[in-house]
Every structure is written in C-alpha cells, then in structure tokens.
Structure 1
Amino acid sequence: MNISVVIPLFNEEESLPELAKWIKRVMDANQFSYEIIFVDDGSTDLSWKVIQDLHQGNRQIKGIKFRRNYGKSAALYAGFAATAGDVVITMDADLQDNPEEIPEMYRMVVEDNFDLVSGWKKKRYDPVLSKNIPSKFYNWIARKATGIKIHDFNCGLKAYRSQVVKSIEVYGEMHRYIPILAKWAGFKRIGEKVVKHQERKYGVTKFGIERFIRGPLDLLSVIFISRFSKKPMHFFGVLGSLVFLVGLISTITVGVNKLVALAEQVPAPRVTDTPYFFLALTAMIIGTQLFLAGFIGELVSRNASERNKYLVEDTLE
C-alpha cells in the first residue's frame, strides 16, 4: 500500500464526509493505493456514526474510536499503530489542511529520501494574536533548542516514512514536537514543504488558552526526554552528586574551622550558629534527593512501555 492517512478528530461531524471525498479524489487522480484512518478521540457528537457510514460506502476508510477524549497525541499513536502504508500522512479533520499537498509530500519521502516532511503554513488563516504570534515564538525557540530547521513544528499536515511512526511513541502533548522525537529516534532526514492553509469551514477550534502554558512546558519536556529519558541518572545523578559534593565540602570546611579555632584556643561561635552550616546541610539533602530521583527515574523508564494501552473502544477495518 502506498499511503496511510491518519486523521485524529474530536467533534468534527460536519467536515468528515467532505474531507473523505476530497482525499479519495486526490488518491484516485494519482492512482495511489491508500487507506484513511479516522481516529475519533471521544467525540460527543455524531462523528463516529458518520465514520461508520463512510466505512460502509468505502472499505478503504477505517475508524478507531476512543472510550473518552485522550488528546491528539494518543489519537496519533493509535492511528500510527494501525497503518499499513509505506508513507503515512497526518492531517487535521477541520478542512484547514489541503489534501492536494499529499502527492508532493509523498514524492519527497519516496524520491527525495526524506524520513519526515513537515508542512509549513506560511500564510495562515488564524487569529494573529492568539495563534500566529505565539506559534512563531514557540517555533523559533524549538529551532534554537533542537537544531531542526523547520518553521512549523505543530503543523498537522506531515508525511512520514512508515518506519518513523513505528519507531516513536507519541503521548501527553508531544504531538507538537514529533520532528524532535523522530530526530532523537535516529531519523535525521527531516524536510519541509510550504502548504496551503485554509480557513475553518465548520465548528470551532478545540485548543484553548491553555496552549500558551502547555507549549513551552511541552518543549522543555520533549528536550529533556529526548536527551535523558533512557538514562535519567545521567542528569539527576550527576547534578545530585555535584550538589551533594558542594554541601559536603562546605560542611567539612565549617567543621575544620571550628576545630582549628578550638585547637588554637580562639573564641569561635558554635557550628549551628552560622548560616553556612545549614546551607551546606540543605545542599547535601537536595543532592541526595536528586540522586534518588535519578535512580527512581531509571526504574520507571524500564517499565513505561504500556503507557498508551487501553485507549480504544471500537475499530473499523
């Protein structure tokens, strides 16, 4: 199979028939073998009923239904696991991503040998203050922090070599930074394509003001995870050891100064009367806690492979 199209959605009943027809028209015009996988992330409208009807009319349309709303990352993870195509395309269900971009993105993966091609919504039909400016700011920080030279990390329209989606685990809110996860997994051929962005035709955006908080926190998380998730002791252990060592040396210094003063019969305050003793003791305690955090992190990292289980309620194949 040439292409698997994975579409996470939440309450998008109006747009699904039009989107399915549009994708089919593009696929048939380019003679691609394909499948469309709609992942219903716990919709409360008639989205799943619409997907069932589309499946009855076209068996190339498949569906996955979650028991409740788990978020876009979990929806992508479940969709990736179900794909069978050589190239996997992701796009949003709100008709703002243009299926006409799929053939060229497919060509870039197959012929230009990219592992991942990220869409760049250079001209956006979104509110400037609430979306455009924050998006540009977060993307600038992400480029500087990761060295990945793309302009729109969070664009829903992306193309992946199949091995990429089978090798990464997307959870929490990490869908915003999949290129970073891919690079960390060893897929470094990451390209970019300017794509046409369209105004929302139905419904409203599902992302609220909380994205202003989650955006930078997610970036910090993914950078940390990409570097230290397999070996948290490399971060916490080293940092804890350094802090503990500083506290220990400070404590010894305070004690030695007291002993020297006693040996020379020079009046000296009690050790507990000086703030340096408590600062040194606090450093030793914090250092020990950081070291133990690294140790516990090592144990957790070895037993976290089932993070995304038990999400799915029903499927259509």
Structure 2
Amino acid sequence: MNISVVIPLLNEQESLTELYDWIAKVMQSNHFSYEIIFIDDGSTDDSWTIIEQLSNKDANVKGIRFLKNFGKSQALHAGFEKAQGDVIITMDADLQDNPEEIPELYNMIVNDKFDLVSGWKKKRYDSVISKNLPSKLFNWAARRTSGVKLHDFNCGLKAYKKDVVKNIDVNGEMHRYIPVLAKNAGFTKITEKVVLHQARKYGTTKFGMDRFIHGFLDLLTIWFISRFGKRPMHLFGALGVIMFIIGFGFTLYLGIDKLFFNTTGRLITERPQFYIALSTMIIGTQFFIAGFLGEIILQTKQDKKRYLIKDELNL
C-alpha cells in the first residue's frame, strides 16, 4: 500500500464527508493505493456515524473510536499502530489542511528519501494576536531548544516514512514535537515544505491559548527526555554532588572556624552558614536519590495503554 492518511478528529461532523471526497479524488487521480484512518477522539456529535457511513461505502476508510477524549497525541499513536502504508500522511479534519499537497509530500519521502516532511503554513488565516504571534514565539523556542530547524512544528500536515511512525512513542501532548522525537530516535533526514493553509470552513477551533502554555511545558519535558531520559542520574546525580560539595564546604569552614578562630563562643547554629550547609546537603542528597529512582524506574517500567478504544471499522 502506498499511503496511509491518519486523521485525528474531535466533533468535526460537518467537514468529514467533504474531506473524504477531496482525499479520495486526489488519491484516485494519482493512482495511489491508500487507506484513510479516522480516529474519533471522543466526539459528542455525529462524527462517528458519518465515519461508519463512509466505511460502509468505501473499504479504504477505516475508523477508530475512543471511549472518551484522550487527546490528539493518543489519537495519532493509535492511527500509527494501525497504518499499513509505506508513507503515512497526517492531517487535521477541519479542512484547513489541503489534500492536494499529498502527492508532493509522498514524492519527497519516496524519491527524495526524506524520513519526515513537515508542512509549513507560511501564510496563515488565523488571528494574528491569538495564534500567529504566539505560534512564532513557540516555534522559535522549539527550534532553539531541539536543534530541529522547522518553522512550523504545530502544523498537522506531515509525511513520514513508515519506519518513523513505527519506532516513536507519541504520548501526552507530544504530537507537536514528533519531528524532535524522530530525530532523537535516529531519523535525521527531516525537512519542511510550504503548504497552503485554508480558513476554517465549519465549526470552531478546539484549541485555545492554553495550548501554547502546555506546549512550552512539553518543550521543557522533551528537552529533558532527549538529554537525560535514558540516564537521569547524569543530571540529578551531578546536581546532587554539586549541592553536597557546597554544603560540605560550608560545614568544613564552620568546623575550622569554630576550632581555631572562634574567640567569642558564638554557637554554630547562630550562623547563617550552618543553615546554608544543612539545606544544600539535604537537597543534594534528594537530587542523588531522585537520580537513583529514575534509573530504577527506567529499568522496571512496563508499557501501558494510554487510551481505550470503543469501536473499530475495517481494521
């Protein structure tokens, strides 16, 4: 199979039929063998009913329905697990991503041998204040922190070589950082392509300003995981040793001063250096223990499903 199109969605009943018709037209005109996997992330409208109708009409349409809303990252993870195509395309269900981009994205993976091609919505139709400016700041921070030189990390339209999606673990809210996850997994041939961005035709956005706050927090998480995820002792152990040495240094100073230079009889507990020494040694010990616990957790962790599937279609 040439292409798997993975589409996570939440309450997009108005756009699904139009999106399916558009994708099918592009696929058939380019003679691709394909599948379209819709992942219903706990919709409360008629989205699943429409997906059922489409799957009954076309065996290329497949569906996954979550028991409740688990989030976009979990939806993508479920879609990636089921995808069978040589190239996997992800896109949003709100018609803001243009299916006409699919053939060129496919060619960049197959012919140009890229591992991942990320869409770049260079010209956007979103609000400048609520989305464009925060998005620019967010993308700048992501580039500086991760070392992946993309302009638009949050663009839902991306193309992947099959090996990429089968070897990365998308969880939490990490869908924004799939290129970083791919890089950390060893897939370094990553590029971007300017894609058309279209104004939302139906409904309202499911994301607010809080997604940028969550995005920056996730950025810190992925920076830590990429640097110290496999060896937490390298960070916590180093911090612990540094803090302990500082505390021990103050302790040594107080001891020498008490034995040889203290002529006033002042108690050690009356000196601020005593509390600095005590605090830093305790904190250093805690950091060291945190590093050990992190290593133990890594050695004993077990994979656990982060979502529950209610129904599947054609899978």
TM-score w.r.t. length of structure 1: 0.96
What residue number does 2:233 align with?
A: 233
RMSD, aligned α-carbons: 1.2
Q: Deviations over 1:105-125 (max 9, x none)?
A: 010011111000000000001
**Which aligned pairs between 1:123-162 and structure 2 lie closer than 5 A?**
123-162=123-162
Contact 1:261 1:268 in 2 (8 A): no
Contact 1:118 1:157 in 2 (8 A): yes
What residue number does 2:279 align with?
A: 282
CA distance in 1, matches of 2:298, 2:61: 36
Counterpart of 2:269 (choices 267, 272, 279) is 272
Pair 1:108 & 2:108 matched: yes
CA distance in 1, matches of 2:84, 2:127: 37
CA distance in 1, matches of 2:128, 2:174: 24
CA distance in 2, matches of 1:34, 1:305: 34
Q: Deviations over 1:84-115 (max 9, x none)?
A: 01110000000000000000001001111100
Contact 2:88 2:160 in 1 (8 A): yes
CA distance in 2, matches of 1:92, 1:299: 39
What residue number does 2:26 align with?
A: 26
CA distance in 2, matches of 1:126, 1:193: 19
Deviation at 1:310, TM superposition (A): 4.5
Is 229-238 or 276-285 further displaced after alignment? 229-238
Q: Which amino acid aligns with 2:138?
A: Y
Deviation at 1:135, TM superposition (A): 0.4
Deviation at 1:232, TM superposition (A): 1.1
Q: How many residues align?
A: 314
Q: Deviations over 1:160-210 (max 9, x none)?
A: 000100111111111111111110000010010000000101110000221
Q: Which amino acid aligns with 1:3?
A: I
**Which aligned pairs between 1:253-268 and structure 2 lie closer than 5 A?**
253-261=253-261, 266-268=263-265
Contact 2:138 2:212 in 1 (8 A): no
**Which aligned pairs between 1:56-67 and structure 2 lie closer than 5 A?**
56-67=56-67
**Which aligned pairs between 1:165-176 and structure 2 lie closer than 5 A?**
165-176=165-176
Deviation at 1:309, TM superposition (A): 4.2
Mark the runs of 5 or more structure 1 residues left unpaired by the alignment. Answer: none
What residue number does 1:293 align with?
A: 290
Deviation at 1:268, TM superposition (A): 4.0
Mark the runs of 5 or more structure 2 residues left unpaired by the alignment. Answer: none
SS at match of 1:302: helix
Deviation at 1:311, TM superposition (A): 2.2
Moved over 3 A (4+): 302-305, 307-310
CA distance in 1, matches of 2:89, 2:196: 15
Q: Deviations over 1:227-263 (max 9, x none)?
A: 111111111111112111211121122112111236x
Pair 1:312 & 2:305 matched: no
TM-score w.r.t. length of structure 2: 0.97
Distance 1:99 1:303, change over 3 A: farther
